[in-house]
Chains A and B, each alone.
Chain A
Amino acid sequence: MDVSDILAAHQAKQKAVLVEKDIPLEVDAGFLTVTDLNPIDTESYEADLEEYLMSTARDGVQTLIASLFSLPTISTDDGPLAQLPPPTTQLPRAKPLPKPKPPTKWEQFAKAKGIQKKRRDKKVWNEEKQEWVDRWGWKGANKDKEVQWLTEVPANADVDFDPAKAARDERKARVAKNEKQRSANLARAAAAGSSSDDRKKTIDRTLAVTRTSTASLGKFDRKLDGEKPLKGVKRKFEPTETSASKEKSQNLAIISKLDKEPMAKKSKKSSDSSGDVLNVRKAIRSASKGKGSAALAREGASKGGKGKKGKR
C-alpha cells in the first residue's frame, strides 16, 4: 500500500493552517492577543498597504486560533468552552487591591486556639412536626418555648412568673449581646484603621472648637484644674535667603496659579458679555465711602457750588 499521497495530502492540509515566520509570534491566549515582532516589510507595505496589513493579520490570527483550539475544553449546555490560561501580559489595575477585613474578636480568639470554622445549618429537624424548620426567624426553632401551650414551671417560681415572657427576654438579651459585640468589633476595626495620632488630633480640634463656642468665646467659662490655655496658630515665615532654584520654583508656582483661571470664574466671564475691566458698582461704592451714587452726585454738586463751607 502506498501512503505517500495520503501523507502529501495531510502535509498540504497542515500547510494551510501553519504559519512560518522568522521570529515566532508571541501569543497571549489569556487576553486573546498575538504580537508579531517581525519587522514590517517595506516593499509590500508600500506596494499594497491594505493587502499587506490583511495578510499579516491573517497570519497572526491563524497562530492565535491554533493555540486557542489546542486548549483543553469543558462541555456546557451552550457547547464546548476553551479553558484559557492566565494572561502573561501584565496590565495595570483600575482600582487598588481590596483590603482584607479586620478580624473580629472571636476570629482572633479562634485563630489563637486553632478552632476551625464550622458552618451551622440554617435548618434544624423538628421531631414533633417531622420536618425541617428554620433555626431562627419566622416560626424559628428559637421561639419554641415562647409559643408552646404548656410549660413546666419551677416549684419556687413567683406567683406572677410568666414562662413565655422569661424565654422571650432571654432571647432578646442574646440578640442585644450579639449586637453589642458586633458594634464593638466595628469600633475596634475603625480604631485600628486610623492611627492614634490622628484620633488625638481630631479630639483636640473638637475640644478647641467647643471651648470657644460660647457667647463670650470661652472668656468667662469655668476653668478646670490643670486646664491649659488654648494654643493659637503660630505663624511661620520662610527664610529670607533661599537657594536660587527654590526661589525660582516658588515664583513659577505663583505665576502658573495666576495663569490658570478657576472653572467657576471662566463660566461667569463667558456669560458676561460686556467685558468691562472696571467694576462700576464697586468703584462707586469705594468713591462714595459706601453711601451710594446719589450721595456722590450730591457731594459733587455742593463742591461745585460754594467751595468751603462750615458745618450746617
Chain B
Amino acid sequence: MLRTVKPKNARSKRALQAREPKEVEDPRVAIFVKGTHAGEKVTAVMKELMALKRPHAISFSKKNAVRPFEDATSLEFWAQKNDASLFVVGQSTKKRPDGLTFVRMYDHRVLDMCEVGVEGWKSMADFKTPKATPGHKPLLHFASELFDTHPRFIQLKSMLMDFFNGEVIDAIHLAGLEHVISISLGPTPPSLNAAMSTLQATGAPNEDLLSLPKVHVRSYMIRLLASGTRVPRVELTPMGPSLDLTLRRHTDADPEMWKQAMKRPKLRKQDVEKGVGKKRKNLDVDEMGDLRGRIHVGKQDLGKLQTRKMKGLKPGREEAVGDDENEGESGRDSEGEDEGRSRKKRREV
C-alpha cells in the first residue's frame, strides 16, 4: 500500500489532483510488463501494441516475476504507483507459449483478466506502407456474431475497446481518421452454435478453449477517395501489426465490483436540456431533415362540435321565424351559454 502524502507545494498538489477520480475519465494508461520469460515473439508483439497505444503507454523494461492469475498484488501496486488502469503482461511458458494477458483495473484493483496466445504475427516493418501518426484515434471494427452472444468474446471486445478507444470525446477531426484496427474471428464452429442455445438455458459456458475460433487482429490505413457524394469511398491498405490470437484463461469481474464500475454520473443540466438521456417529446425530423415541433393548441371546445344534423333537433319554426340556419345555430349557441351562465349563478347563490 502506498502512503498517502499531503502535497507540500502547488505543483505536487496539481499532480495529485490530476489523479483524483473524474466524472469524465481520461484515457486508460496501459503498462506493458514482461514476465519472467517473455520470448522474442511476445516482446516484439508488445512493442508493436505499445506503438499503437502510445502516448498512453508505459513500458517496464525489466523482467518481473508476476503471475496475474495467481497473485495480483504487484499489479495493484503498479497501478497505484503509475496511475494506470490497464496491463499487458507478456509471459511465455512451456505450458502456455507466447501468452499475453490483458488486465483491467478498477479503483487500483483487478477488475477482469483475459489471456490470449499469439499464434501468428507480422510486424509493422514487414508491411512497406505508410504508418499512422502516434496519438491519432483508431477506428475499431469487430466482425463476428459471437461478439454479441459469447461471454468470452463480449469480454474481449470490451477489453480491446477499452484498450484502444475507451475515451469519451465529444468531437473529432474527420481528416485525422487514419487507421482502423479490425478484430475478426474465425468461422463459428457448429458445436458453439449448438452450445449457444443450451448456454442461455444453463447460464454456464463450457470451457472448451479449443472449440473457440481464432481471433484475427489486423490494422489498416484508411484512404478516403472522392466518390462524388458527401461520403467518401474507403480503401484500406494493410499497415501492421497483424496478430492471430487464441483465447486462453480468463477471470470475469466480481459482480459487485462490476456494478460499481458501471455506475454512470448523473446527467448534467445542460445535457438534459440538450435532450441527452431524456426522451425528446413533440420533436421529430421530417424527410427533408427539418426539425419539426408540435405545439400545444389549447383545448377543443366540444360544445361547438358539429354533430350530425337531424330534423328533430332543429329549432322550432316559431322560435326562429325568418331566420337563416346559421343565425339559428348561433342563436342556439348563445342560448346555451346563457343557460350555462345562469346555472353558474345559481350555483354561486
- Judge if A58 is at the interface, Cβ distance under 8 Å: yes
Within 8 A of A (CB), among B177-203: 177, 180, 182, 184-188
CA distance A68 to B140 in the complex (A): 13
B256-280: CB near A (< 8 Å → 1, else 0) gives: 0010111111000000000010000
Count B-side interface residues using an 8 Å CB cutoff.
Answer: 73
Q: Of B107, B157, B187, which one neighbours A95 at CB under 8 angstroms?
A: B107
Q: Of A69, A84, A90, which one neighbours B230 at CB under 8 angstroms?
A: A69
Q: Name the B residues within 8 Å of A30 (CB-CB).
A: 168-169
Q: Name the A residues within 8 Å of B231 (CB-CB).
A: 17, 65-66, 69-70
Q: Name the A residues within 8 Å of B263 (CB-CB).
A: 93, 96-97
Q: A92's closest neighbor in chain B, by CB?
A: B261
- Judge if B111 is at the interface, Cβ distance under 8 Å: yes
Q: Of A37, A40, A42, A80, which one neighbours B174 at CB under 8 angstroms?
A: A80
- Closest CB of chain A to B80's CB: distance in Å? 11
- Closest CB of chain B to A255's CB: distance in Å? 15
Q: Name the B residues within 8 Å of A37 (CB-CB).
A: 144-145, 147-148
- Judge if A292 is at the interface, Cβ distance under 8 Å: no
Tell whether, in the assembled complex, residue A83 and residue B170 are in contact, meaning their CB atoms are under 8 Å apart: yes
- Judge if A56 is at the interface, Cβ distance under 8 Å: yes
Tell whether, in the assembled complex, residue A13 and residue B148 are in contact, meaning their CB atoms are under 8 Å apart: no
B268-299: CB near A (< 8 Å → 1, else 0) gives: 00000000100000000000000000000000
Q: Is the interface of A mostly helix, strand, loop or mixed?
A: mixed
Q: Name the A residues within 8 Å of B177 (CB-CB).
A: 32, 65, 68
With most chain A CB atoms within 10 A of its CB, the pick from B184, B230, B265 is: B184
Within 8 A of A (CB), among B218-259: 218, 220, 222, 224, 227-236, 238, 253, 258
- Judge if A254 is at the interface, Cβ distance under 8 Å: no
Tell whether, in the assembled complex, residue B111 and residue A92 are in contact, meaning their CB atoms are under 8 Å apart: yes
Q: Name the A residues within 8 Å of B309 (CB-CB).
A: none
The 6 residue pairs across chains A and B that have the minimum distance between CB atoms: A92-B261, A94-B85, A57-B182, A95-B21, A36-B143, A81-B171
Q: Name the B residues within 8 Å of A96 (CB-CB).
A: 21, 106-107, 260, 263
Q: B222's closest neighbor in chain A, by CB?
A: A61
Tell whether, in the assembled complex, residue A95 and residue B111 are in contact, meaning their CB atoms are under 8 Å apart: no
CA distance A37 to B149 in the complex (A): 10
CB pairs A–B below 8 angstroms (6 shown): A45-B186, A56-B182, A60-B182, A79-B175, A84-B169, A98-B20
Tell whether, in the assembled complex, residue A62 and residue B253 are in contact, meaning their CB atoms are under 8 Å apart: no
- Closest CB of chain A to B263's CB: distance in Å? 6
CA distance A92 to B182 in the complex (A): 22
Q: Of B71, B227, B230, B261, which one neighbours A93 at CB under 8 angstroms?
A: B261
CA distance A17 to B230 in the complex (A): 10
Q: Of A31, A40, A45, A98, which one neighbours B161 at CB under 8 angstroms?
A: A31
With most chain B CB atoms within 10 A of its CB, the pick from A35, A42, A83, A93 is: A93
CA distance A266 to B168 in the complex (A): 43
If A23-B145, A35-B143, A68-B172 are given as contacts, then 8 extra A-B residue pairs at C-beta distance below 8 Å, sorted by A number, are A17-B227, A39-B188, A40-B188, A40-B213, A92-B158, A94-B25, A97-B23, A97-B265
Q: Name the A residues within 8 Å of B25 (CB-CB).
A: 93-95
With most chain A CB atoms within 10 A of its CB, the pick from B139, B140, B143 is: B143
CA distance A70 to B142 in the complex (A): 21
- Judge if B165 is at the interface, Cβ distance under 8 Å: yes
Q: A31's closest neighbor in chain B, by CB?
A: B165
- Judge if A252 is at the interface, Cβ distance under 8 Å: no
- Judge if A87 is at the interface, Cβ distance under 8 Å: yes
Q: Name the B residues within 8 Å of A260 (CB-CB).
A: 71
